[in-house]
Chains A and B, each alone.
Chain A
């Protein structure tokens, strides 16, 4: 931890970054994001297993964007998100200084995104078998039962858009749901509007979602959105062999045609 704090303080002191995004402990002991602009604030910095939140989401918030150079402490999900954002042309060169702490508690400062690409390739996230079990259980149900399940789950959505606010991939300045000329997606939190919203969001995340499952964690109504993201991610992997957040170049299943696409969904 001390090594990390020293590194952050050093970056701030030497003006290599004007703001550093990291974690600190909140009043009730919960871990929350921290935004350090001065070296003497860094003592608050905290990094540990509880620091789960994907900080990559703050990179495209206007409050952060006004700083000329930004540093960020990234866990593996944040690294994947940042790599995907870079591939989607959302991170300018020489704008971010990305820091991570590896399993041996060693602080790593990445020189460029190619280094992140190879780091991610070496540090694969293991598949959560519990979640896969949940999905398999759901898939074993009949189509009607599954529909009922989602009607029940999604009817509780209050359209607070917390899922969108926490998602590092939801960076559009104007979301489709806010368009009203014409209004493709109905705004009220009724079943139809909720279905339209979540299905649309999942389609927009297909092959872009890095599966950090923050949307599920922040949902105040406890809707299991991670089931949708995990399923769509595994579908993308199985059908197109594509996993988001692995490469510096944009390789997007929905807008590329490859002769060797499996196409086993066409029957």
Chain B
């Protein structure tokens, strides 16, 4: 096997990807490319890379402007695998690199196995409804990796290796401003209990009842995508699913949620799932541990009474 490259959005990602590379490499060399300064490159070396390149965020260009230089280098060195963070900038970069190298790219690849014949990777279809397994013998394959898929190991500060950087090319895109994300008001990811509000709750005013229940049981309130994105009843950070938050609470109670695969993806790792949905056959009910096939208002009112006792 030739080298494994890792391309990371930041230092925590670089550590995760270094761990992924170590798991898959069978002794092959890891070469790291990290968004950050020289210290970030050195950190990648301490976490297992043999060589590391610092790719600092340019002031007036997107970070993705390193893509042509990376494609050029990859075209010459032909790494077997290029692992990238499944973050937005890296997904963009992965797609463009794949096109420039005419290489396959697997989005959020799981169950990756490497053999002399090539790479086998599973990816998700229809928001988690199915898993597709595919194999490629392409010279170079790209895979974006989820943040939680590999645990990074401890740093070994005695490790040393070559540190470098790559040139930027003007991609014709000029950055005129950057605004950091405003701090989230709720931290759904840290909550042990989460209530999810769906379109079955037809009036924004009804959220009060649900918030009362949340308070009574010490839960945070999240929602399905339409509630945040189309109705805008809650901030975008609150929606759960494949394109929103992915949670692992001990208890998830879905209120008026149909349970489409894209939503379910965000809560499938919850320990216990309860659904309140008047449609007995709804996917949410059928994929819950317990369900109450009734009007949500009756059920939530009764539940509030019961827990206040």
Q: Real complex partners, A and B?
A: no
Q: Which residues on A are within 8 Å of B, measured CB to CB?
A: none
Chain B positions within 8 Å of A, measured between CB atoms, are: none
